[in-house]
Amino acid sequence: MNDQLATLRAKRQQALEGGGPSRVEAQHAKGKLTARERLSILCDEASFQELGALATHHTTDFGMGEHRYPGDGIITGFGKIQGRRVAVYAQDFTVLGGSFSEVQSNKISRIQDLAIEAGIPLIGLNDSGGARVQEGVRSLAAYGEVFVRNVKASGVIPQISLIMGPCAGGAVYSPALTDVTIMVNGTANMFLTGPEIIRTVTGESVTVEELGGAWVHNATSGVAQVIADDEQHALSLTKSLLAYLPQNNTEDPPALEPYDPPERMDEALNDIIPADDHVPYDMRELLGLVFDHDSIFELHKEWAGNALVGFARLGGMSVGFIANQPTVISGCLDINASDKIARHITLCDQFNIPLITFVDCPGYLPGVEQEYNGVIRHGAKIIYAYCQATVPKISVVTRKAMGGSYVALSSKQMNNDVAFAWPSAQIAVMGAEGAARLLNRRAIEAAKDPVAEEARFVAEYKEMFYNPYQAADVGQIDEVIEPRETRPRLIRALEVLRTKVTQTIAKKHGLFPV
């Protein structure tokens, strides 16, 4: 027995060493932690249970028989984060560049299956050079095994991807199929085809960082939702994010004991809307005054800044928020903002997280480029997502709700549950100046003083529509409230809607506009 134990211990020790001291040193020199160091930070102390630590590949081509490492460049298993059970995998770049092999696929697939059956979140720490070249088609097929499970798990358990090094080629699609992707600034990159191939095919010269760095995917492509300053930050953000999500789609998201008085009314809200219509205000400041103190977790913070989305808390309850940001292109909806909002609605709905929408939007962004690039199909995603969502939905119109944006942003007819408006709300088919040109052009042109005639029409139009009262009169707004009352009103509405039940028609699936 002593010999057998010694063998086991030696094998385990070898698994703990990854690619060996020099490769661990090289990993550290790049400012990166090893896979095991990352897991020890992510999981509660002594909670990680490994599976498959001794699995090795069986490839012998290209001298691979000489390069067999227990675990084959990936660590998989179960752990706890803040006491909650999770499944985790972490690619080990020190072993064959973390390259994706048949064994890696088997190990990830195994914990994906177990995570789905157990109904617990799956967190993937990615750091890999992509498909293991020496395994040929077997490593390509292996990706398919993971993708099919990513899709099976979608909407069942939360899936969070951290990119902590390269994520190249086929490797990018697993994160892209998950709920939230967090990238580490400076060391993470994602790309389908690398700089060398791009240079050959298109002649473009670009560095890895310029092509697919954390900043690119957070601010330009919208592929990632969160950017982290470093690895510690990424792991800490993962823990914060998880706190808003349930274990699986059959559970409600975890609630905290209320730590900010539900009845708190912030007087500053009553003064937040500028007297001049054309002057913007910061929607982030507004959200900070309404939600529980320090509870906002924003997604896509650097992308499509004209819309804000994320998680927050109200009276300790986890909610998803969607808001227009008047400081960026007046809060208009464009292609990227539409994608951002629609994705977030769907993310919240699949995990039973109520939606709170703050509306201040002059409409969809006009422009040839927007139309050519399909603002119609992108804009339709918002409508589809809201209509499909069955979670409690509450809206607050703070200022503009014009035309398409009024309808699209959680209007009553689109199954919104409770609609509030502030006295500053302006609910109309279009802005006053546009309406004057459309309805009164001839009268304005024929008038002795066209400027005065246009001003008269604009004033009349504003008097009629630049308030919430016509909408309240016809039942499109449930209640006009003082801005400072927003927080207690939302919390009371949420308490009522907590037990909301919605009947849906059985179908295979609809056609989500893409």
Residues that bind ligand HXC (CB under 6 A): 96-97, 99, 129-133, 140, 143, 166, 168-171, 194
Task: Compute the least distance from the CB of residue 69 to ligand HXC, in Å.
Answer: 11
Of 96 and 286, the one with the shorter C-beta distance to ligand HXC is 96
Task: Compute the least distance from the CB of residue 160 to ligand HXC, in Å.
Answer: 21
Of 143 and 244, the one with the shorter C-beta distance to ligand HXC is 143
Of 178 and 440, the one with the shorter C-beta distance to ligand HXC is 178
Q: Is 393 left (phi over 0), alpha (psi -120 to 50) or beta?
A: beta
**Can you spell out the DSSP letters for 134-183?**
GGTHHHHHHHHHHHHHHHHHTTTS-EEEEEEEEEEGGGGHHHHTSSEEEE
Of 24 and 472, the one with the shorter C-beta distance to ligand HXC is 24
Of 171 and 361, the one with the shorter C-beta distance to ligand HXC is 171
Q: How many whole angstroms separate alpha carbon 271 and alpha carbon 284?
A: 15
Q: How many CB atoms are located within 10 Å of the residue 249 CB?
A: 15
Kindly report each contact of residues 105-109 with a partner whose C-beta sits within 8 Å and lies 24 or more positions away, as own/partner.
Answer: 105/139, 105/142, 105/143, 105/145, 105/146, 106/52, 106/55, 106/142, 106/145, 107/51, 107/52, 107/55, 107/72, 107/74, 107/76, 108/74, 108/76, 108/145, 108/146, 108/149, 109/145, 109/146, 109/149
Task: Compute the least distance from the CB of residue 194 to ligand HXC, in Å.
Answer: 5
Element (H, E) at 287: helix 283-290
Task: Compute the least distance from the CB of residue 129 to ligand HXC, in Å.
Answer: 2
Task: Compute the least distance from the CB of residue 97 to ligand HXC, in Å.
Answer: 2
Query: At 39, which amino acid appears?
Result: L
Structure tokens at 207: 């560095």
Give 356's strand partners.
321, 394
Q: How many CB atoms are located within 10 Å of the residue 369 CB?
A: 10
Structure tokens at 196: 């060398």
Of 108 and 242, the one with the shorter C-beta distance to ligand HXC is 108
Of 99 and 150, the one with the shorter C-beta distance to ligand HXC is 99
For the chain, the distance separating the N- and C-terminal CA atoms, rounded to the nearest angstrom, is 61
Asked if 327 and 286 touch (Cβ cutoff 8 Å), the reply is no
Task: Compute the least distance from the CB of residue 430 to ligand HXC, in Å.
Answer: 47
Task: Compute the least distance from the CB of residue 255 to ligand HXC, in Å.
Answer: 40
Of 92 and 349, the one with the shorter C-beta distance to ligand HXC is 92
Output phi, psi for 436, to 5 deg: -60, -45
Task: Compute the least distance from the CB of residue 208 to ligand HXC, in Å.
Answer: 6
Task: Compute the least distance from the CB of residue 94 to ligand HXC, in Å.
Answer: 9
Q: How many CB atoms are located within 10 Å of the residue 377 CB?
A: 12
Of 168 and 342, the one with the shorter C-beta distance to ligand HXC is 168
Task: Compute the least distance from the CB of residue 145 to ligand HXC, in Å.
Answer: 11
Q: How many CB atoms are located within 10 Å of the residue 354 CB?
A: 26
Q: How many CB atoms are located within 10 Å of the residue 114 CB?
A: 16
Of 133 and 459, the one with the shorter C-beta distance to ligand HXC is 133
Task: Compute the least distance from the CB of residue 98 to ligand HXC, in Å.
Answer: 7
Task: Compute the least distance from the CB of residue 38 to ligand HXC, in Å.
Answer: 17
Of 173 and 215, the one with the shorter C-beta distance to ligand HXC is 173
CA of 108: how far to CAs of 91, 101, 145, 183, in Å?
A: 10, 11, 9, 20
SS3 track for 349-400: HHCCCCEEEEEEECCECCCHHHHHCCHHHHHHHHHHHHHHCCCCEEEEEEEE
Of 74 and 419, the one with the shorter C-beta distance to ligand HXC is 74
Q: Given the DSSP bridges, would you call strands 159-168 and 189-191 parallel, antiparallel or unpaired? A: parallel
Closest CA to 125 of 46, 47, 69, 178: 178
Asked if 315 and 491 touch (Cβ cutoff 8 Å), the reply is yes
DSSP 8-state assignment for residue 192: S
Judged on CB neighbours under 10 Å (0-12, 13-18, 19+), 131 is buried
Of 209 and 495, the one with the shorter C-beta distance to ligand HXC is 209
Task: Compute the least distance from the CB of residue 121 to ligand HXC, in Å.
Answer: 24
